[in-house]
Chain A
Amino acid sequence: MNIVAKAARALKAPSRDIVAEHGLSPEEYRRLVDAIGREPSLTELGIFSVMWSEHCSYKSSRVWLKKLPTQGPQVIQGPGENAGVVDIGDGHAAVFKMESHNHPSYIEPYQGAATGVGGIMRDVFTMGARPIANMNALRFGAPDHPKTRHLVAGVVSGIGDYGNCMGVPTVGGETNFDPRYNDNILVNAMTVGLVDAKRIFRSAAKGVGLPVVYVGSKTGRDGIHGATMASAEFDEASEEKRPTVQVGDPFTEKLLLEACLELMATDTIVAIQDMGAAGLTSSSVEMADKGGVGIELELARVPTREEGMTAYEMMLSESQERMLMVLKPGVEVQAERVFKKWGLDFAVIGYTTDTGRLVVRHAGAVEADIPLAALAQAAPVYERPWTPKTPPAALDPHDVPAPNSLLDCLEIMLDSPHLASRRWIWEQYDHMVMADTVQRPGGDAAVVRVHGTQKGLAISCDVTPRYCAADPREGAKQAVAECWRNLTAAGADPLAITDCLNFGNPERPEIMGEFVGAIEGMAEACAALSFPVVSGNVSLYNETNGAAIPPTPAVGGVGLIPDIAQMATIALKRDGNLLLLLGAEHGQLGQSLYTQIMLERSHGAPPPVDLDTERRTGDLVRNLIREGAVSAVHDVSDGGLLVAIAEMALAGNQGVTLETAPDHLPAHALWFGEDQARYVVEAAPDKADAIHKAAALAEVPIRLLGRVGGDAIAITGETPLPLKTLRAVHEDWLPRFMAHG
C-alpha cells in the first residue's frame, strides 16, 4: 500500500508508522506537536514532512553553510533566494544556480535528468532572468557496470531534450566515471541567466490581502513525497517509490518562461516562487515566511488534471512547470491575459493575510492551519557529530614506476573513460541556440556573449572527486581553484560560484567529517580568490546499502570577459609559435590519473593547492591574454602537463615538438603530475621576452616547453605520436562505449 492510501485511512492523530513514513523521527514529531500545540492532521503532517525534510530545511548542513563567504562588491543577491545574482556592469546582472537531481535520475534517467534541468531553469527565470546557458555535471558508475550505459544514454538525452526544446544552449559540463557512483549517480544541472539589474524578482510576499496566483501546468499526483525521497537513503525497498517519478514537459516550460518574462516586464508582481520540490507547500510557505505575512489557500481553485485530488495530494504534489506568484491588487485580469495568451492555466488560489499562519481550505473544510514560524524558524537544525578525515601522506614521485614510453602512455590515457572526449555528449545538446555561444564545449570554460554587447560570460563546472575522497578539504579547495582557473584561462575575471554539495549519509560521523572538511576547504579558497558563493544546493544521503559516494562538492563558476575580442581558447594557432609553461613543477602524482590509469591504483595525497600562488599565476595569465601576448591558453588539470598539451594540439590541429624536460624530477612525474596553479600558453616568438619579464615580475616560474608545428606530438627519443592517431582514440572511446549496448 502506498503512503497516500495508508495515510488517508489515518484519523486525527497519525500513527507512529505514518509519522515514520513521512521521514520524521519521533523526536521531530514531538517538536512538531509542541510547535502547533496539538496533533497534526494528515495534511499538516505532510506539510511538515516536506518542510522539515533535509532537502527543504537543510537541517544537517545549515550550520556549516554559514561558513562560506557570500559577500563581495559584485554580489547583488547571495544565497537565500531562488538563485544568486552578480553584477556584470552596464546595468546587467548574471543569475545562476546549480541543483542536483540525483535520485530521480537513477530511478528514471531520462525523466529524472530532464526535470532536473526544468527545475533549475525555473529557479533562474523566477528571478526575472532569461536563461542563456545550461551546464551539467555528471558522475556515473564504472563503465563496465551493467547499468552505466543505460544511465548515460538516458541522462544525456533527458538533459538534451529539455534544454534543446527550451532553446537554451547547454554549453558545457563535466563527466566522471567511477565505481563508487555505481548505485548513486549524480546529475547536477546549472543554469545561468541574464537580467536587468534593476528588475530582479524575489520571493518575499510583502503586503496583506494580496492575491496568490497559480500559473503553469495543472496539478497531478506526480512525485508525491518526492522531496522526502530525495533525502532518504536508498535501499531495495525504494523500488516501491517508483511512481514518484515525474514527467517533464519542456514545451509548457518554454511557454511558462515567455509568459513570466512578459508579465515581469509590467509592474504587477510582488513576489514569485517556482514550485519545485514540495510544490505548493514550500512555495507558499517560503513566500509568506519571507514576507512576514500569513497565507490562506483555497485548494478547490487549484487547476488539477485528475479527479478527486485531496488536500494532502495537492499540497505535496511535485507536478512540474508551475509557479506561484503574489500580485499587486487589481492586476489579476491583466496578468491572466498574459498567461491565457500562452495557453497556460491561471488561477487566484488565495490571499496573503496578517495572521502569520498558513491556512489551507479545501471545499469548505480547513485542512491545515499552522503558524508559519513553526514550519520555518522552528524547523530542526542539527549539529551532527563528525570525525575529520586524516589525509594520506604525500606520494614521492620517485616511488612511482615509470612507463616505457611517455607517448604510448599519453595515448592510453586519452583513450580512457577519464580523459576521452565528451563530444558524444555535447553534440546531443544544442549548444549554439541563441547565437551567442562564442566558445563552444571542449575548452576550459564555455563563453556566451551578453546579447547585443561585446561582453562575455565564461562558465565552468568543476570538482575532482578522487581528490575529495582522499582529502575532502584539499579536494574542495581544488574544486574552487580549478573553476577559477578555467574561467581565467578563457580570459575572464572570475566573479562568483554556485555549488552542489553531494555527500553520503550525514548521520554517519565520517561522512559529516567529509562535509565539514569540504566546506572549510571551499570557504578558504573562495575567500582567498575573492570568489564568493551566491547560491547552491546540498544533496545528502547519496549512498546505497551503506556505501557512500565520494564527497563531491561540485562548483559552478561564472566570470566576466569585458571584451570577447580578448578571449582565449585552448586551440593552438600557428606553426612556429612557442609553447610555455607558467607555474611551478613538483611532480605531484598522488591521486593522479597517471597512477589510476597506468597503475590501476589511487594513492597518496592529492596535489596541494596554494591559493596565493593560484591567484598570482592566474592574474598573470589573464593579463597576458588581455594584452594579446598569448594566442592559446589551457590550464593543467586531470592527467597533467602532457595531457593539457595534447588537448591543445588536438583542438587546434597543430602538432608540437617538445624540448627535453629538466631532470630534477622523473620524466613521468613532470609530464603527468597534476600540480596545481599551472597554465600552458602559446605565444608568437616575438612575445617571449615580454612574457618572461611579466612572469619574473609576478614571481611565477616559466619554462619553454617546445614549439608548435607539424602534425604529431614529438618528444626527444620517442617515435612521434601522430595527431590523427591520438584524435582517433580520444574521440572514439565514448561513442564506442555507448554503441556496444
Chain B
Amino acid sequence: MKTSVIVFPGSNCDRDAAVALEAATGHPPAMVWHGDAELPNSDLIVLPGGFSYGDYLRSGAMAAHSPVMREVVKRAKGGTPVLGICNGFQVLTEARLLPGVLMRNATLKFICKDVYLKVERSDSMFTHRYVLGEVVRFPVAHKDGSYFADEDTLDRLEGEGRVAFRYCEASGAVTEVGNPNGSSRNIAGIYNETGTVLGLMPHPERLADPALSGTDGAKMFASLVEALP
C-alpha cells in the first residue's frame, strides 16, 4: 500500500502521521512538499495536523490554495482516498472537498486532551475495524475545531450517513458536556459523498502506540490497510 503525506509550511504532525502509517503498512509514506506539483501515485493521501501557514487568516485557508492541493483535489475526485486530520480537515473544508467550516472553539481557547468519540459508521474503509456505535478515545489539539454548516447541509450529512464520528461522553451519550469545542450536532468528522474522503479533528495517529496510553487510533490505520490494495 502506497501512502503520501502532504507537508505544508507549518505542518507539524507530518512525522506523527508518517510513523503511524509506517507502523500500519510496513512502508514509510512519501513525504510530499506543498510546492511540488508532482504527487506520487498513492493509495491513500494524508493531510496532517499542524499550523499550515501559521493558521493565519483562517486555519487551512492558505494551504488549500497551494499547488499540490490542486492535484490532491483532482485525485480525490478521481476516487483516491484522502484522510485529513485536524489541520488537514480544515484544509479539506477550505478546499471544498468537504462541506462546512471549522470555526474557533466555543471556549475560544486551544484545547488539548483526550475526548470520547462515537463511531457513526463502521462500514467505511476508514472505520470497518470499529464496531458501530463503539465509543473510542482520541486526543484533540486545536483552537479552531468547531464544526459549522448550515442546517440543510447538516441534515444532508446526517441523511446520507456522512457523519463519521461524534463527540460524546465516556458513556456514549452525545451531549453538550461531551462536546469539547461547540461543534454543530457534536460532529467530529465527516465523509465526502463517496465515503473516500474523511476529515476529522481528533488525532488517531496520537493514540496508535501502546506507550502513548491508548491504541484506539491504530484501528483506523488497520482498517485502511485491510481495505486498500
Whether the Cβ atoms of B10 and A435 lie closer than 8 Å is no
- Residues from chain B with a CB closer than 8 A to the CB of A154 are none
Interface hits, A138-168 → B, CB 8 Å? 157, 160-161, 164-167
Smallest CB-CB separation from B35: which chain A residue? A341
Q: Does B216 reach chain A (CB closer than 8 Å)? A: no
Interface string of B39-58 (1 = CB under 8 A from A): 00000000001110111100
Residues A164 and B212 in contact in the complex (CB < 8 Å), given A249-B54, A251-B54, A433-B12: no
- Residues from chain A with a CB closer than 8 A to the CB of B109 are 157, 428
Whether the Cβ atoms of B15 and A431 lie closer than 8 Å is no
Interface hits, B104-120 → A, CB 8 Å? 109-113
Whether the Cβ atoms of B51 and A433 lie closer than 8 Å is no
Residues A167 and B50 in contact in the complex (CB < 8 Å), given A160-B110, A427-B112, A428-B111: yes
- Per DSSP, chain B at the interface is mixed
Q: How far is the CB of A607 from chain B (nearest CB, A)?
A: 34
Interface hits, B1-19 → A, CB 8 Å? 9-13, 15-16, 19
Choose from B51, B143, B212 the contact partner of A251 (Cβ within 8 Å).
B51
- Per DSSP, chain A at the interface is mixed
Q: Does A250 reach chain B (CB closer than 8 Å)? A: yes
Smallest CB-CB separation from B19: which chain A residue? A435
Q: How far is the CA of A570 from the CA of B146 in the complex (A)?
A: 34
Whether the Cβ atoms of A433 and B10 lie closer than 8 Å is no
Residues A432 and B112 in contact in the complex (CB < 8 Å), given A165-B54, A167-B50: yes
Q: How far is the CA of A433 from the CA of B19 in the complex (A)?
A: 12
Q: Does B73 reach chain A (CB closer than 8 Å)? A: no
- Residues from chain A with a CB closer than 8 A to the CB of B203 are 432
Whether the Cβ atoms of A564 and B211 lie closer than 8 Å is yes
Smallest CB-CB separation from A250: which chain B residue? B54
Smallest CB-CB separation from A435: which chain B residue? B16
Whether the Cβ atoms of B51 and A167 lie closer than 8 Å is yes
Q: How far is the CA of A434 from the CA of B50 in the complex (A)?
A: 11
Whether the Cβ atoms of B9 and A430 lie closer than 8 Å is no
- Residues from chain B with a CB closer than 8 A to the CB of A101 are none
- Residues from chain B with a CB closer than 8 A to the CB of A431 are 112
Q: Does A255 reach chain B (CB closer than 8 Å)? A: yes
Q: How far is the CA of A167 from the CA of B9 in the complex (A)?
A: 12
* Interchain Cβ contacts within 8 Å, total number: 86
Q: Does B205 reach chain A (CB closer than 8 Å)? A: yes
Smallest CB-CB separation from A341: which chain B residue? B35
Q: Does B141 reach chain A (CB closer than 8 Å)? A: yes
- Residues from chain B with a CB closer than 8 A to the CB of A467 are none
Q: How far is the CB of B132 from chain A (nearest CB, A)?
A: 28
Smallest CB-CB separation from B109: which chain A residue? A428
- Residues from chain A with a CB closer than 8 A to the CB of B137 are none
Q: Does B158 reach chain A (CB closer than 8 Å)? A: no
Count residues of B near A (Cβ-Cβ below 8 Å).
Answer: 32
Residues A165 and B111 in contact in the complex (CB < 8 Å), given A430-B141, A435-B212: no
**On chain A, which size bracket covers the interface?**
20 to 34
- Residues from chain B with a CB closer than 8 A to the CB of A564 are 211
Q: How far is the CA of A539 from the CA of B21 in the complex (A)?
A: 46
Q: Does B209 reach chain A (CB closer than 8 Å)? A: yes
Interface hits, B156-203 → A, CB 8 Å? 203
- Residues from chain A with a CB closer than 8 A to the CB of B205 are 435
Whether the Cβ atoms of A254 and B110 lie closer than 8 Å is no
Q: How far is the CB of B144 from chain A (nearest CB, A)?
A: 12
Q: Does A219 reach chain B (CB closer than 8 Å)? A: no
Smallest CB-CB separation from B217: which chain A residue? A435
- Residues from chain B with a CB closer than 8 A to the CB of A250 are 51, 54
Whether the Cβ atoms of A254 and B51 lie closer than 8 Å is yes
Residues A432 and B206 in contact in the complex (CB < 8 Å), given A157-B109, A157-B110, A165-B10: yes
Whether the Cβ atoms of A427 and B113 lie closer than 8 Å is yes
Q: How far is the CA of A254 from the CA of B51 in the complex (A)?
A: 10
Q: Does B81 reach chain A (CB closer than 8 Å)? A: no
Smallest CB-CB separation from A439: which chain B residue? B213
Whether the Cβ atoms of A435 and B111 lie closer than 8 Å is no
- Residues from chain A with a CB closer than 8 A to the CB of B111 are 427-428
Q: How far is the CA of A181 from the CA of B10 in the complex (A)?
A: 36
Q: How far is the CB of A653 from chain B (nearest CB, A)?
A: 12
Smallest CB-CB separation from A428: which chain B residue? B110
Q: Does A449 reach chain B (CB closer than 8 Å)? A: yes
Smallest CB-CB separation from A454: which chain B residue? B211
The 7 A-B pairs with the shortest beta carbon distances in the complex, nearest first, are A167-B12, A251-B54, A435-B16, A165-B51, A430-B141, A430-B112, A428-B110
Give 29 pairs: A residue, B residue, CB < 8 Å, sorted on A.
A161-B110, A164-B143, A165-B51, A165-B55, A167-B11, A167-B50, A249-B54, A250-B51, A250-B54, A251-B56, A254-B9, A254-B10, A254-B12, A254-B51, A343-B9, A427-B111, A427-B112, A428-B112, A432-B112, A432-B139, A432-B141, A432-B212, A433-B12, A433-B13, A433-B16, A433-B141, A433-B206, A435-B212, A438-B212
List 16 other contacts, CB 8 Å, given A254-B9, A430-B112, A430-B141. Answer: A164-B51, A164-B110, A167-B50, A250-B51, A251-B54, A254-B12, A255-B10, A427-B112, A429-B110, A431-B112, A432-B203, A433-B13, A435-B19, A435-B205, A435-B206, A440-B213
